[in-house]
Structure formats: structure tokens, C-alpha cells
Structure 1
Amino acid sequence: MLGPTMIFGAANPVDHVLPHALHAEPLFRIPVGGEGTDIPLLGIRDGHYSFYFTNHMMMTAVAGVLTILVFWWLARKLRPAAHGDLVPERRGRFTQLFETMAVFVRDEVARPNLGHLTDKYIPYIWTIFFFILFANLMGLLPIGYILQLVTGDVHFSHWGGTATSNLALNIVLAIASFIAIVVIGVRESGIGPFLGHFNPVGWTHTGADRFIMIPIGAMLFVLEWMGLIIKCTVLAMRLFGTMMAGHLVIAAFVMLIFSAASVSDVLGYGTGVAVVLGGTLLMLLELFICLLQAFIFTFLTVLFISSGAVHEHEHEPHEAMSDESQMDVDKLTHPASLATPPA
């Protein structure tokens, strides 16, 4: 009735955001519990855990490899020439786009919070930002449906997808942030001062008040650690919920076409035109959300790291460029303007 568009519909609008196995038989099985133990959320059925390579695992690997390859290529493009200066002609628009994003994350997100520690830990911050960004953006590409159109095999329809709409991946990212917060905090502040952040009332009380303040400090210590764990958990839940919700809204819009087509062909085609126009706007909004969620995850991670590793008086204000540094920037951005010295 609606021709090739039917392959983009599904009986369940949630179906395309769930993980799907890319092969029929499990790669391996592990006995878990007794006969009849079923925990579908953990992949346990009839007392066995079955491991499948899913589309979300595939897109996680694709996002990781793509991040490495893109920045390996950019590093070659930005490699200084023999005389030590960057060659402006080698900095194309694609290179400048990623350079601008990297500089923004460093100067506007990391440096105001980490201060003098920025250059030390910026590789990790860049890694999580661009990995999440690539994973989000790859989810906007209908890879599976394109393969299905080309091959005619319906089994390809679930290839692709948004890796960050899988809670398991986001939990791993949150655990990585938690480890970074603790390790960097201990490394920069020392284990004593770092643990002191979790007990603002302190442990060294004497006199009668120690019977009140030490129990209060112990409770605060537990609550602060729980707060840090909850903060990292919220990082995962926010990314998971936002990325899944966006795709569900688009899927619900597409389902309107088939609901209208069940009434009449004319209504189906009319609804299809409206959905295509509205879906285009939603996809543009999704593109913005992909950038926003990568920024939010990175910003909050930096904020949590700085709370344990950087004291308030250690934040460094932005320093004005020296005349020599400003001239170097001018040479890169406007080389022709410096060709003739001013009169």
C-alpha cells in the first residue's frame, strides 16, 4: 500500500531501540542457577546465560574504532612542518571543525574547572566526549535499513542502532568516570585530603562533642559516597533515557503513517508527507541532542573530578596571550594580513 516505506515500520515502535543478536546461535553458554531460572534482562533463560554479539556491541566497536581513526588522521593533518609551524593550508574545514570542538571542550569546559590540571587530563576528557558524540551520531544513520534495501534480507534490519541507548554501555562509561574521579582525586590531593571531602565535619574532635560529631561525620561520610555513586549512576541514566526517548518519538511518528493507511490510502499518503516533514525537524533536533548529551556527560564528569582534585583557590583564570603568541595565532588565521608590515 505504501510501497518500500513499509520496511521502515515495525509492529512495536520500541523494537528498533532494543539490542538484537546478529547471529542465531550463542557464542557460548554458561550455567547459571537451576533449571527454569529465567532473567531475560540479564540474558538468562532456563538456567543458562547465553552470550550473543548484538548490534549495540557492534556500534560500540564502530564508534571506538572511528574515534581512533578520525583523530589519527587529524593528528597527521595537524602535524607541524619541518620548521615547527603549522601549515594553514593543511587545516581544511573538516580538520577545523574537530579542532574547534576540541579547543572548546578544553578551554570552556575543562580549564575553568580543572585549572592547571587541564593539560594533564584532557586526553581522557576528549576521549569520552568524542566517543559519546560518535556513538550518538552513528545512531542517526539507518545502516540496517539501507542494508535491507540493498540485499533484500530482513535480517539486516537491526544492524546499526544507537549504542548509547543501551544502559549497559552507559553504566560502563559511568564506572569509568567514577574511577577517574577517585583516582585523580587521590593522585592530586592525597588520600587523606580526598577522603576529607566526604566528611566536612572532620574526624579529629576532642572533648564532649566527639560523641556527637564523630557519628555525624561517619553518617556524612557514607552519604557523600552514596551521593557520588548516585551522581555517576545519573550520568548513565540521563544519557540512556535521552537517546532512547528521541528514537522512540521518531518511531511513534512513523507508526502514524501505518495507522492512517489502515483507514484509507489517501489519509495514509497525506499523513506520510506530514510525518516526513515533521520527522526531518525531529532529526535536526536529534542532531542537536547528540551534541548536547555528549557535552553534558563530559561537563558533569569534569565537574565531579574537579570537586575532589582541585581546591577553589587553585582555579586559574584565563591568561592574556603574549604578543608573540598572538602573532602566531594571527599567522595561522590570517597569514596574508601579516605579509606587509604596517606603515
Structure 2
Amino acid sequence: MAGEEGKIDPMHQFEIQPIFDGGFEIAGQTINFTNSALWMILTFITLWIFMLGGMKREIIPGRWQVMVESMSNFVTNMLTSNVGEAGRKYVPYVFSLFMFILFANILGMLPIGVIGLHPFTVTSHIAITGILAVLSFSIVLIVGFWKHGLHFFSLFVPHGTPLPMVPFIAVIEFISFMIRPFSLGLRLFVAMTAGHVLLKVLGGFVINSTNAGAGYGALVGIPSFMLMVGISALELLVAVIQAYVFALLTSLYINDAENLH
């Protein structure tokens, strides 16, 4: 709850705030340890524990090992089906990308607000999703020019394009190519932000209607709470789908760099 009493600010949950007072300065800029940094570290620790527990290499794998191997095989199959055998060398990067986004999305939905803590979804900030998108796009550019040289520019002229149309098609394809990192980062950012805003608004309905009286609580609060439960389940699905979409599009972009399709 932020601002006036009884007023719910749905955007307050996205504010980046320092955890500790003080900090240090670099080039005139104050550097603080923030809630965003804290939840990225928690995401890394949780992911590390998940991977560590599933890498025992037992002859008869347990459930944990099966989960980790299933995730790894899922990403491997996605890359080989979209890129070919050359895609196997990108498995460590795409797997790390997929798992980080997945865990960050899910951790940001933990219902720990009931004990006074406030989860923070790092993928609801364009600065984070944008960096991930630029990193993937940079790999595509490096691989494309390293493997194909200037022939990489043929990507902007689809095979069979009539000669008079080449200048127009090349410009359109180039613009479409350059927009990729923006759309990649924006898609994840918007999906996670919209869901959390909606949950916060519905939570405000529940709290304020209950405070207003039993009648309002029954009329507004109960339906809002039931809707929150359904949307929370949907948000878990969105968290998984968005991690998959980000990894899938990265695989498709890598395919362009590898095979110039």
C-alpha cells in the first residue's frame, strides 16, 4: 500500500529501492545494492541449487535428476530442430537464458507478501529484459559475420526476390532485423508487468471492499479474490510460456546467423 491510506498503487511493486543505506560512487553515480539485485542473486542461488541437486549422474535417476535432464533435453531438442546439429554448441547459453527467465518469473510470483516480504520480478523491468535481448542479438551478429563475413548481408534479400524489388525488400528486412532486440525484450517485459499490475489492482479491490464492510466484501471482495486465484494460475502459465518464447526466438535468430535462412 502506497500513498494515501486505502489507496493501492499498482506500480509501487516495480520501484527499485536500495536495500541498505549508503553505497559507493563511480564516475559521479551512486551505486546501491537494490531489491532488483537481491532478487537476481536469489534467482541465481535457486537455479544453482536446482541444477546441483539434479546433476548426481545416478544410474537410476531420481525425480530431481529427471527434471534437470528433461529441461536440458528440451532446450537441446529445440535448438537442433530449429538450427540443426550446429545448434548444440549454443545449448549452454540458451539453456541458461531459459532457466534464468523461468526462475525469475516464478520467484516474482511467490505469495510471501502475507508474511510482510515483497517479491520483486526482475523480468518486469525493461532494463533487464532489454539486456538479455541485446545479448542474444549480439551473439547473432557475431556468429553471422564470423561465419559468413559480408555475405551475412544476403539475409536481407530473400532468395527469389525480383531484382527491381531488391532495394525495397532489403530495407524492410533490415528494419525488421534491427527491431528484433526491442520486440524480444519488450514482449517479456510487457507480459510480466501487465499480469502483476492486474493482480495488484484486484488485491486492492479485496482489501478496500473488506475494509468498507461485510456487504462490500461479499459483493466485491470475494469475486475479486476468486478472480485473483484464476489469474495467478494463468500468470504461472505465462511465466513458463514467456521463458519458452524468449528461448525459442533466440534459437530462430541463431538459425538465421548459422544458416542464413
Whether the TM-score (by the shorter chain) exceeds 0.5 is: yes
TM-score, normalised to structure 1's length? 0.66
The aligned residue for residue 25 of structure 2 is 28
**d(CA) in 1 for partners of 2:71 and 2:89?**
18
How far did residue 73 of structure 1 move?
A: 2.9
> Secondary structure, in 3 states, of the residue corresponding to 1:190?
helix
Which one of 89, 96, 101 corresponds to residue 132 of structure 1?
A: 101
Question: Which runs of structure 1 show a deviation greater than 4 angstroms over 4 or more consecutive aligned residues?
Answer: 219-223
**d(CA) in 2 for partners of 1:142 and 1:21?**
22
The aligned residue for residue 330 of structure 1 is none
**d(CA) in 2 for partners of 1:140 and 1:60?**
14
**d(CA) in 1 for partners of 2:187 and 2:67?**
27
**d(CA) in 1 for partners of 2:218 and 2:18?**
34
Which one of 87, 102, 110 corresponds to residue 141 of structure 1?
A: 110
The aligned residue for residue 249 of structure 1 is 198
> Secondary structure, in 3 states, of the residue corresponding to 2:110?
coil
The aligned residue for residue 79 of structure 2 is 110
**d(CA) in 2 for partners of 1:194 and 1:311?**
7
285 and 193 in structure 1: CA distance in 2 versus 1, 3 angstrom threshold? same
Which one of 150, 155, 158 corresponds to residue 192 of structure 1?
A: 150
The aligned residue for residue 3 of structure 2 is none
Residues 59-86 of structure 1 deviation map (CA, whole Å, 9 limit, x = unaligned) = 12222233233223322x22xxxxxxx5
Which one of 58, 70, 74 corresponds to residue 54 of structure 2?
A: 74
**d(CA) in 2 for partners of 1:68 and 1:228?**
34
**d(CA) in 2 for partners of 1:302 and 1:186?**
17
195 and 64 in structure 1: CA distance in 2 versus 1, 3 angstrom threshold? farther
Following superposition of structure 1 onto structure 2, how do residues 49-64 of structure 1 map, counting pairs within 5 Å? 49-64=29-44
Residue type at the aligned position of 1:114: V
296 and 116 in structure 1: CA distance in 2 versus 1, 3 angstrom threshold? same
**d(CA) in 2 for partners of 1:128 and 1:10?**
37
* Residue ranges of structure 2 left out of the alignment (5+ in a row): 1-5
**d(CA) in 1 for partners of 2:179 and 2:65?**
37
**d(CA) in 1 for partners of 2:82 and 2:213?**
59
Give the aligned CA root-mean-square deviation in angstroms: 2.8
**d(CA) in 2 for partners of 1:102 and 1:223?**
36
Higher helix share: 2
* Residue ranges of structure 1 left out of the alignment (5+ in a row): 1-8, 32-48, 79-85, 149-156, 202-208, 313-343
Q: Is the 8 A contact 2:83 2:255 kept in 1?
A: yes
Residue type at the aligned position of 2:89: K
Greater displacement, 263-272 / 63-72: 263-272
**d(CA) in 2 for partners of 1:275 and 1:102?**
39
183 and 65 in structure 1: CA distance in 2 versus 1, 3 angstrom threshold? farther
> Secondary structure, in 3 states, of the residue corresponding to 1:197?
helix
The aligned residue for residue 123 of structure 1 is 92
**d(CA) in 1 for partners of 2:7 and 2:253?**
41
Q: Does 1:97 align with 2:67?
A: yes
277 and 308 in structure 1: CA distance in 2 versus 1, 3 angstrom threshold? same
**d(CA) in 2 for partners of 1:63 and 1:54?**
14
Residues 128-187 of structure 1 deviation map (CA, whole Å, 9 limit, x = unaligned) = 1111001101101144653x3xxxxxxxx44x3111001100111011111111122234
**d(CA) in 2 for partners of 1:310 and 1:276?**
50
* Percent identical: 27
Q: Is the 8 A contact 2:155 2:260 kept in 1?
A: no
The aligned residue for residue 122 of structure 2 is 163
Residues 253-298 of structure 1 deviation map (CA, whole Å, 9 limit, x = unaligned) = 1111233235423422564333332222211111111100000001
Q: Is the 8 A contact 1:257 1:271 kept in 2?
A: yes
TM-score, normalised to structure 2's length? 0.85
Which one of 279, 284, 288 corresponds to residue 233 of structure 2?
A: 284
